[in-house]
Amino acid sequence: MADKRLEPLPKSESCIGLTFEVIPSTFEENLPKERFLTPDLYVVENARQKALEVLNRVSKDEKAGSKLPVVVIGCDTVVVQDGVILEKPKDEQDAFNMLTKLSDRPHEVFSGVALFTAERGAENPHLFFEKTSIVFGPLEPEDIRGALRGLSGVDGEDSLKYFATAYIATGEPMDKAGAYGLQGQT
């Protein structure tokens, strides 16, 4: 299954005249959050480090005869609620805790982008972020029953528990900041 985050990329090089290759970064995303004054600075630095790691790796390949890329893009996303940065869940229990904490409460999604170009070099990337405010509406028992197709007797406080557990069982939240992806399961 293709990564939904790649859908905005053109389907053919004739669209923009460039070929592209997705090279996942090996950057560990372990920057100390307390060193950053705001979530946007944190997410942009993660994006920069991811892109820089890929740029350094492909630059070594270029010295071995491969072509140096014209553009390297690094991206990162975090969810922030009450000043706390939520990244990818560590395990299913962590995913469950995140989803229940986010339910019917406002939070923000920060997406950071670092764009390295051949013209600007490694020292001067384009850096930017986008912030989106989100509130998951309260989930009504009948909505959850429909989503779970076949489970009956689910209502009240148990409904969120069943819904979150079923969603986690799909595996989707495990590689998503805040344990959810808006572009994913419907």
The single residue of 40, 61, 76, 94 carrying the catalytic annotation is: 76
Phi and psi, residue 135, nearest 5°: -135, 120
List, in order of start, the domains of the chain with CATH numbers. Answer: 19-179 (3.90.950.10)
**Cα torsion angle, 42, 47, 48, 53, sign:** positive
In this predicted structure, what is the pLDDT of residue 78? 95
Mean pLDDT of 137-162: 55
Q: What is the pTM of this model?
A: 0.78
Q: For residue 74, which of 113, 31, 117, 24 has the smallest C-alpha distance? A: 113
76 has catalytic annotation: yes
Mean pLDDT of 131-135: 94
Q: Is 40 exposed, middle or buried (0-12, 13-18, 19+ CB in 10 A)?
A: buried
pLDDT digits (tens, 9 = 90+) for 62-118: 665 556 667 899 999 999 999 999 989 999 889 888 888 888 889 999 999 999 987
